[in-house]
Amino acid sequence: MRAESCLNLADKHRAEDGLRHDWRLDEIQALFALPFNDLVFRAQSVHRAYFDPNEVQVSSLLSIKTGACSEDCAYCPQSARYDTGLKREELMPVDEVLQAAAQAKQQGASRFCMGAAWRSPKDRDIEKVAAMIAGVRALGMETCVTLGMLTDEQTRRLKEAGLDYYNHNLDTSEEYYSEIISTRTYQDRLDTLERVREAGIHVCCGGIVGMGESDDDRAKLLQELVNLPQHPDSVPINMLVRVEGTPLADNEKLDPLVFVRTIAVARILMPRSRVRLSAGRTEMSDEMQALCFLAGANSIFYGEKLLTTGNPIAEGDRQLLGRLGIRMAGLTAQLLNG
Ligand code: SAM
Ligand code: DTB
Ligand code: SF4
């Protein structure tokens, strides 16, 4: 029944958005296998057809509830199961969150993303988060939250509070997912994504590379994302941040050019989506980040902290973007872009 209604939805959206939602794995694998220059040229051509190539959207992140998470995601420093030395913090007071948002706005961020280390929120938490959303919106910023799995009622409440985006990542292929997380299923993730989409909240959904997954896993992750009934509005591509104490701490580093290829293929598959060069930038050279922008990335996390780990300082990013002649999208420009 669910599969049938998804198919109908997929047909409906294909007709509506003129984009493909029926990519086969072999087609995606063929893109990954292109000579690097051909792949990047193609990605940049698609990028130019849909976006201003010299503009990036910037989001700032804040961890509003930190650590002690019941889930066992092997990459995550916030799981209660791993000793990462992280200090646990309860849900932050609303006024402190709004102070941080105002500061992020002053630095030039147009979207404020609030993350909580929950498997799923409790109803009483949702009321506080709703107040944060309303407050951040009142500052004139776009709002995004990532809180784990949601019920229908919680989703409705977030929409009512004015939520613009919900971040919920598929992280990797369905096959590899069970190697990384045992406390929830891929289908749980897909169910929350469906709720968010149907409530009319923009979807932010992507994944992590560098977790020891295969080339096929990366292709399959992108296939899952592109074949959703609607392409996610934002697609964060994270490079694994290897945190001491997590099971993936000693993983081998991914070839940076494979990361750039992943960005390029995401751009080709999802031409209207913001592809975000997300976690892992502190370990990337300026040249590698420039290649990611060339391959079609047009969004970054901005500000010296992601949720619990480091990110380049804002001044450093302003200098890098300046050297590349890339502007930060203002809120007005973003609203115009839809
Ligand atoms: N608990 C909620 C959830 O899992 O959806 C929201 C917060 S969770 C930290 C948000 C996302 O951060 C994860 O889905 C994952 O993609 C990303 N993430 C967490 N740890 C990471 C790491 N070490 N490196 C890269 N990305 C990471
Ligand atoms: C996403 O895809 N990446 C962000 C955001 N969505 C919530 C989180 C990255 C977290 C990196 C590890 C940390 O700082 O705890
Ligand atoms: Fe918890 Fe989210 Fe981290 Fe998984 S990724 S351990 S659900 S905070």
DSSP-assigned letters across all residues of 265-333? HHHHH-TTSEEEE-TTGGGS-HHHHHHHHHTT--EEE-SSBSSSSB---HHHHHHHHHHHTPEEPPHHH
What percent of the chain has a predicted confidence (pLDDT) above 70? 93
Rounded CA separation 229/12 (Å): 8
Q: Which amino acid would we find at residue 220?
A: K
Inter-CA distances, 235 with 169, 319, 322, Å? 9, 24, 24
37, 291 in Cβ contact below 8 A?
no
Ligand number nearest to the C-alpha of 113: 2
Dihedral pair phi/psi, residue 310, rounded to 5°? -80, 160
Rounded distance, CA 249 to CA 241, Å?
A: 8
Options 42, 111, 157, 204, the catalytic residue: 204
Query: pLDDT digit string (tens) for 207-229?
Result: 999 999 999 999 999 999 999 99
Asked if residue 92 lies in contact with residue 117, where contact means CB atoms within 8 angstroms, the answer is no
- Asked about 204 being catalytic, the answer comes back as yes
Ligand 3 mean position, distance from CA 39 (Å): 33
Ligand 1 center to residue 242 CA distance, Å? 12
pLDDT for residue 109? 87
pLDDT, mean over the chain: 92
CA atoms within 13 A on the CB side of 31: 26
Residue 307 near ligand 3, beta carbon < 6 Å? no
Active-site pick, 197, 242, 276, 281: 276
Determine the distance separating the centroid of ligand 1 and the alpha carbon of 4, expressed in angstroms.
Answer: 31
Q: Is the CB of 116 inside a 6 Å radius of any atom of ligand 2?
A: no
Residue 144 annotated among the catalytic residues of the structure: yes
* Host H or E run for residue 30: helix 25-32
Q: Poorest-confidence range of 62-71, 103-112, 152-161? A: 103-112
For ligand 1, say whether the CB of 59 is within 6 Å of any of its atoms: no
Q: How far is the CA of 1 from the centre of ligand 2 (A)?
A: 34
Ligand 2 near 206 CB (within 6 A): yes
Plot region of 294 (φ>0 → left; ψ -120 to 50 → alpha; else → beta): alpha
Per-residue pLDDT tens over the stretch 33-76 = 999 999 999 999 999 999 999 999 999 999 999 998 999 999 99
Terminal C-alpha separation, the chain: 33
Structure-token match 């591509």, residue found: 237
Using a 6 Å cutoff on CB, does residue 217 contact ligand 3?
A: no
Nearest-angstrom CA–CA distance, 74 and 93: 29
pLDDT, residue 161, reads: 94
- CA distances for 338 relative to 169, 229, 233, 295, 334, angstroms: 22, 19, 10, 22, 6
Q: Which atom of ligand 2 is nearest to the CA of 307?
A: 14
Q: And the tokens for 142?
A: 């776009």
Residues 69 and 118: beta-carbon distance below 8 Å: yes
Q: What is the pTM of this model?
A: 0.92
Give 18 Cα–ligand 2 centroid separation in angstroms: 31
CB-ligand 1 contact for 171 (6 Å cutoff): yes
Cβ of 208 less than 6 Å from ligand 1:
yes
Whether residue 3 has pLDDT greater than 90: no
Question: In a 3-state reduction of DSSP, which class is residue 213?
Answer: coil
Q: So what's the pLDDT on residue 330?
A: 73
